[in-house]
Amino acid sequence: MERILMAHGSGGRLSHELITSLFQKYLGNSFLNQMNDATILPGQEQLAITTDSFVVSPLFFRGGNIGRLAVCGTVNDLAVSGAAPMFLSLALILEEGLPIAELEQIIQSIAETAKEANIAIVCGDTKVVERGSADKLFINTTGIGYVSRTLVNPQQIQPGDVILVTGTIGDHEIAILSEREGLEFETPVTSDCAPLNGLIDCFFQTGVKCMRDPTRGGVATTLNELAQQGGVCMLLDEEALPILPGVKGACDMLGLDPLYLANEGKALVIVKPEAAETILHKMHSHPLGQGAAQIGVVMEGKPGLVLLKTPLGGKRILGMLEGEHLPRIC
Amino acid sequence: MKKSESWKKEMTLNAKKIYLNGIVQGVGFRPFVFKLAEELDIKGWVNNSSKGVTIHAEGESLDVFFQRLLSDAPPLAKILSIRSEEARAESYESFKITQSEAQQEADVLISPDVATCQDCLQDMAEENNRRFEYPFTNCTNCGPRYTIIRDVPYDRAQTTMSTFPMCEACGEEYQNPRDRRFHAQPVACKNCGPKVKLLDSSGQQLSGIGIEQLLQGGILAVKGLGGFHLVCDARNEQAIERLRKRKERGAKPFALMARSIEKARKEVKIENKQEELLLSPAAPIVILERVQNFSSSLPENIAPGIHTLGVMLPYTPLHHLLFKGPYDFLIVTSANLSGRPLIYRNEEALTALQGIADYFLVHDREIYHPCDDSVVQVIGEEPVFLRRARGYVPLPIVLTSSRFKKPLLGVGGDLKNAFCLAHNQRAFLSQYLGDLEGFETMERFQQELESFQRVVNITPSVIAHDKHPNYYSTRFAQEEDYPKLPVQHHHAHLVSVLGEWNISEPTLGIICDGTGFGSDHCIWGFEVLYGNAASCERLGHLEYLPLPGGDAGVKHPLRIAYAYLKTLLAEEDWLKTLPLWKSFSQNERQILDRQLEKKIQVFQTSSAGRLFDAVSGLMGICTEVTYEGQAAIELESEAARFFKQSLSESTDGRAEVISEYPFELRTEEGEYILGVAPLFKSMVLDLTQGISRGKIAYRFHLTMARAIAELAKKFQKEGFLALSGGVFQNKLLTELVLQNLETTNLKVIRSRTLPPGDGGLAFGQVLIANEVL
Ligand SMILES: [Fe+3]
Ligand SMILES: [Mg+2]
Ligand SMILES: [Zn+2]
Ligand SMILES: [Zn+2]
């Protein structure tokens, strides 16, 4: 009776339910249960490992393509886990009929991005499936990195800590959406897709407690996860959110909330209050951190609760991404 | 037969125990019993307990005594049950009021707050009276009740008056059964009671109560019965503008307080029913039609674009004192910040209202249950609640033919939230709380949910909530440990009406509403339903139309209009001819087109509210919504004004015959679908031919009324027809529907004591949960 819905893959509440009720239930172990972007493996030299699959449509979009995305996604999961990304696997599932020229363009892009991220592609695999069994091209990448710095886990997040984001939010999803649906906004939006390890190297210092990349489900869903894992309450300031006018305009038109839109080149960084200013300053000195901003604080309060302070001064609960934003006004 | 026999038997007894229940505390009931007993030479005693009032009566005229208990009861008393049994005569020598017994289970109803009575006003007016100009004068017939009660039984110690020990004079009144203030729990005077204080925005105390400041155009935050109001001189356009700006209130109308009903008549039309409401103990805000008045002292910015004004009369001594100033109308609007709940504590007012109020008129009697003013409009000769709060809460709705098997909680909807606690014969609806999207409102909801349980003595064991997965109320319910039941929104609307009328048979209902989550995952809002609490079937609905952008789209009636026209008509019929579309940029239109074509964030809806929004947008009446329902309210105003004018212009007092627009009723998969393409086609034609917006708006109302009547008649020719949903707060539409059905055998039933909108939803939810259990 129950079946997989698209929302099970959206990174929102249903994705979470799937993870806890199925994957964790059957596969759970001390590694998987870290429930972080990358898993830290024990050993003389601590390793971090992560894997991700990429199924974006369209393959090419303003600011990137599926290849660049496949490198960045895995690199970023390692980087926000405190690891220096080292090795990458590359598995391709190709649909019969995919133009070789497109594939070549994507592979070139993978090479460039890997270079930019300073990571080596060390193994790979290719499968071709019949027309209709896949949508043009799916990519899976697994990344391994050396743990280069100790990050505190979400349990250490404390009231008083400060929430930073490394730049404008929602760019990626609006770029993809306008490309896919042929929406021509007055100010076109470019995906933020980029490897973050360089930026993180630039600003990292003591006082950084936790980092996450707010991909599917956006800033709101990612912070919900952190607030839950850390047993804390968070308060965001709507007026402090860095949002490009083009993204804002698109959201107003379509009735979308930028806090729930996917990013592919941004990190949420939770820091000790005394370190916030320096870290923010360092972020601003890096090309990928130009739009960095303090967007909120960690507070005493109901564990797992994420609130948004609106420009009128009231607060609103930011839940996890639900299936869709069904109208509520009666 | 049997009944009269046992009645006779009782009459021959010379001693009786009588048990009464209902609102019998804090309303002067025991002094009334005492005086009646003295008059009829009855001996014995009366006492109050958490179970109600018990009387031991001995004497000759027990039958008269019993009858007059019912017929002569004090005005505020509400007797829900009376039972008597024989007792042994104890040969008492007098009649006494004895001490209250504390008992385990409370079963006494708490009275709502009551507007200041004439006797108390008299006390306040007499210079040699102890309570001359005392702003907290009250008696058993008037004053605060629900808003100051912490717990039952209703006793001074359980109210926020507990911090004011009575002075000797007050104590004597309180003890004296012959006094109007006998056991009036909030009794107080200048010597012992609460005091007011006028502060400026820096906290500096000023003399007076702010009349001077009002006259100079100042904005006062005034602590009232259920919370703070923001008050300014209603003649002062600049002051009103300032208040509007500071409160970031958009175009939402402000309520007025009028010195008296006579003064009010200079600005608004008041008929019998409305007068009755204005003067009632609940003293609600009544929505009244403005009179065409060129000498009006009231500026347009009180209620921009609307043909009505919300008016109430002073209902606390402090209000009466404020009207010592030389004005007849004050703006008196709830002091809450946009999206946040009513402010009711001094400290909060002093901080949150900084920058909004210039002065603060506070007092030291604490408010325990914050409670907004109620808002009522007379529609089709009956009062219809737009907001139910002060003066009505916590009166129960009493079931006569069924009962709630378990203690139940209905959490209501998200907007205009009010929850409902129900058990046995009674359902108690909380006061209006606001939109639960606001975190502070959600906190208020939780706070009131907890304290309301004590007031009505119901601890729920099952929760009913709306089916909408993203409602904050739904999420709240899901986090609770009790068993829960999701209820379809419009089913709850239907059953709420049936419950009020104590109808349990399946009944036909037409629900015209904003948006609610439908069983088919579409967004419903104009539904023909047939059913009762146990089950419900959808017989028909307005055709599905696309709502682009969901809630964001609702703020832009132009976009809704565009989406509807694009779906219903061929572009050449309307696109070029409607100058309105110039307000869209080329790019905006392009995106809207793509959005509709690709169905990005586009919801299929049968909403009646959105249809009104679309029509309002189509005519350019409302193009940007700044408060809930604005587009539809302004559309109704436009239509009502047109109708009134056409009446006055016609020589014989009869308006020109204006016909409906065409519409279509078709069947699809066994359901009746109301098609509106012909309607839009005609409206567009009228618009392009320069017909006035008022006339088109009026014809649109006529058409919807006819469509509702026709739909009903498709299913049955006689019997009950329930009308519910927020759209039936539209007076013009509702009265036109009633006219349409006047000559039929269909009997229309509507909400009577609850709002037809989402404010009454929770009652429907508990009734449905009760059946499913
Ligand atoms: Fe509703
Ligand atoms: Mg991953
Ligand atoms: Zn009185
Ligand atoms: Zn006194």
- CA B734/CA B727 separation, integer angstroms: 9
Write down the mean pLDDT value for chain B. 93
The ipTM (two decimal places) reads 0.87
Q: Look-up: residue for tokens 């921009």?
A: B304
**H or E element in which residue B243 lies:** helix B237-246
- CA A212/CA B374 separation, integer angstroms: 48
Under a CB-based contact definition with an 8 Å cutoff, are residues B551 and B530 in contact?
no
Query: Residue A109, SS3?
Result: helix
User: Closest by alpha carbon to B772, among B488, B472, B449, B453?
Assistant: B488
Query: Residue B521, SS3?
Result: coil
Which residue in A184, A255, A314 is closest to B337 by CB distance? A314
Under a CB-based contact definition with an 8 Å cutoff, are residues B342 and B121 in contact?
no
What is the percent of chain A with per-residue pLDDT over 70, rounded to a whole number? 98
Calculate how close chain B gets to A329, using CA atoms only, in Å: 6
pLDDT, residue A325, reads 66
Could you say which ligand is closest to the alpha carbon of residue B174?
4
Q: Which residues of A touch B (CB under 8 A)?
A: 177, 181-186, 252-256, 307, 310, 312-317, 319, 322-330
**H or E element in which residue A234 lies:** strand A233-237
Mean pLDDT, residues B87-105: 78
Q: How far is the CA of A49 from the centre of ligand 2 (A)?
A: 10
With vertex at residue A244, the alpha carbon angle to CA A242 and CA A249, rounded to the nearest 5 degrees, is 125
Active-site entry in B14, B21, B30, B249: B30
- CA B531/CA B715 separation, integer angstroms: 13
User: Is it the case that residue B328 has pLDDT exceeding 50?
Assistant: yes
Query: Residue A11, SS3?
Result: coil
**C-beta atoms surrounding B293 within 10 Å:** 11
User: Is it the case that residue A14 has pLDDT exceeding 90?
Assistant: no
Local confidence band at B103 (pLDDT 50, 70, 90 cut-offs):
low
- CA B475/CA B553 separation, integer angstroms: 24
Of A151-165, B290-304, B311-325, the range with the highest mean pLDDT is B311-325
Local confidence band at A20 (pLDDT 50, 70, 90 cut-offs):
confident
- CA B279/CA B260 separation, integer angstroms: 10
Residues in chain A: 330
Query: Residue A42, SS3?
Result: coil
User: Is it the case that residue A3 has pLDDT exceeding 90?
Assistant: no
**Residues B431-482: pLDDT tens digits?**
999 999 999 999 999 999 999 999 999 999 999 999 999 999 999 999 999 9
Tokens, residue B632: 């539809």
Which range is least confidently modeled, A201-215, B41-55, B603-617, B734-748? Answer: B41-55
pLDDT, residue B750, reads 98
The sheet carrying A315-317 orders its strands as A208-212, A268-271, A162-165, A293-299, A233-237, A306-309, A315-317
Instruction: Give the largest Cα separation in chain B, rounded.
Output: 94
Question: What are φ and ψ of residue B638, in 5° steps?
Answer: -60, -45
User: Closest by alpha carbon to A264, among A56, A102, A39, A40?
Assistant: A56
pLDDT, residue B100, reads 67
A chain contacts of residue B475, beta-carbon cutoff 8 Å: 319
A chain contacts of residue B726, beta-carbon cutoff 8 Å: 330
A-B contacts (CB, under 8 Å): 120
User: Closest by alpha carbon to B726, among B450, B461, B377?
Assistant: B377
pLDDT, residue B11, reads 46
Local confidence band at B339 (pLDDT 50, 70, 90 cut-offs):
confident
Higher pLDDT, B76 or B721: B721
B338, B591, B593, B596: best mutation site toward chain A, by most A Cβ within 10 Å?
B591
Residues in chain B: 773
- What's the fold here for domain B542-718? Nucleotidyltransferase; domain 5 (3.30.420)
Domain B110-193 has CATH 3.40.630.10: no
B chain contacts of residue A326, beta-carbon cutoff 8 Å: 468-470, 517, 523, 550, 603
**Residues A248-261: pLDDT tens digits?**
999 998 999 999 99
User: Closest by alpha carbon to B29, among B11, B55, B51?
Assistant: B55
Write down the mean pLDDT value for chain A. 92
Which range is least confidently modeled, A73-82, A236-245, A287-296, B548-557? Answer: B548-557
User: Is it the case that residue B313 has pLDDT exceeding 70?
Assistant: yes
Q: How far is the CA of A100 from the centre of ligand 2 (A)?
A: 28
Local confidence band at A330 (pLDDT 50, 70, 90 cut-offs):
low
Domain B394-496+754-773 has CATH 3.30.420.360: yes
Local confidence band at A9 (pLDDT 50, 70, 90 cut-offs):
confident
Tokens, residue A214: 């707010």
- CA A328/CA A244 separation, integer angstroms: 27
pLDDT, residue B162, reads 96
Sketch the domain layout of chain B as residue ranges.
3-97, 110-193, 196-375, 394-496+754-773, 542-718
With vertex at residue A110, the alpha carbon angle to CA A106 and CA A112, rounded to the nearest 5 degrees, is 115
Local confidence band at B3 (pLDDT 50, 70, 90 cut-offs):
very low
Could you say which ligand is closest to the alpha carbon of residue B27?
3
Mean pLDDT, residues B576-585: 80
Q: How far is the CA of B514 from the centre of ligand 1 (A)?
A: 6
- CA B23/CA B25 separation, integer angstroms: 6
Question: What are φ and ψ of residue B285, in 5° steps?
Answer: -75, 130
User: Is it the case that residue B6 has pLDDT exceeding 60?
Assistant: no
**H or E element in which residue B510 lies:** strand B507-517
Is the bond leading into A58 cis (omega within 30 degrees of zero)?
Answer: yes
User: Is it the case that residue B12 has pLDDT exceeding 70?
Assistant: no
pLDDT, residue A187, reads 86
CA distances from B156 to B29, B162, B182, B215, B557 (A): 16, 6, 12, 38, 52
**H or E element in which residue A162 lies:** strand A162-165
pLDDT, residue B22, reads 87
Which residue in B413, B468, B591 is closest to A253 by CB distance? B591
Task: Pick B196-375's CATH classification: 3.40.50.2300, 3.40.50.1100, 3.40.50.10700, 3.90.870.40.
Answer: 3.90.870.40
pLDDT, residue A44, reads 74
**H or E element in which residue B63 lies:** helix B62-71
CA distances from B228 to B112, B259, B335, B434, B448 (A): 18, 19, 5, 15, 17
Q: Is A312's CB within 8 Å of B609's CB?
A: no
Domains B110-193 and B196-375 share a fold: yes
pLDDT, residue B129, reads 97
- CA A231/CA A300 separation, integer angstroms: 10
SS (H, E, C) B309-334: EEEECCCCHHHHHHCCCCCCEEEEEE
- CA B291/CA A7 separation, integer angstroms: 55
- CA B707/CA B713 separation, integer angstroms: 10
What is the percent of chain B with per-residue pLDDT over 70, rounded to a whole number? 96
Query: Residue A19, SS3?
Result: helix
- CA B46/CA B235 separation, integer angstroms: 52
CA distances from B440 to B186, B434, B533 (A): 30, 10, 33
Mean pLDDT, residues A66-95: 96
Helical H segments across chain A, by residue range = 13-18, 24-27, 66-80, 100-117, 171-181, 197-203, 218-230, 245-254, 276-284
User: Is it the case that residue A1 has pLDDT exceeding 50?
Assistant: no
Could you say which ligand is closest to the alpha carbon of residue B169?
4
Mean pLDDT, residues B89-94: 88
Is there a catalytic annotation at residue B346?
Answer: no
Under a CB-based contact definition with an 8 Å cutoff, are residues A231 and A303 in contact?
yes
Helical H segments across B487-625, by residue range = 489-500, 551-554, 557-568, 586-598, 608-618
At B765, which amino acid appears?
Q
Is there a catalytic annotation at residue B48?
Answer: yes
Question: What are φ and ψ of residue B727, in 5° steps?
Answer: -65, -20
- What's the fold here for domain B3-97? Alpha-Beta Plaits (3.30.70)
- CA B197/CA B135 separation, integer angstroms: 11
Local confidence band at B655 (pLDDT 50, 70, 90 cut-offs):
low
* Domains defined along chain A, listed by start: 37-147 (3.30.1330.10), 154-317 (3.90.650.10)
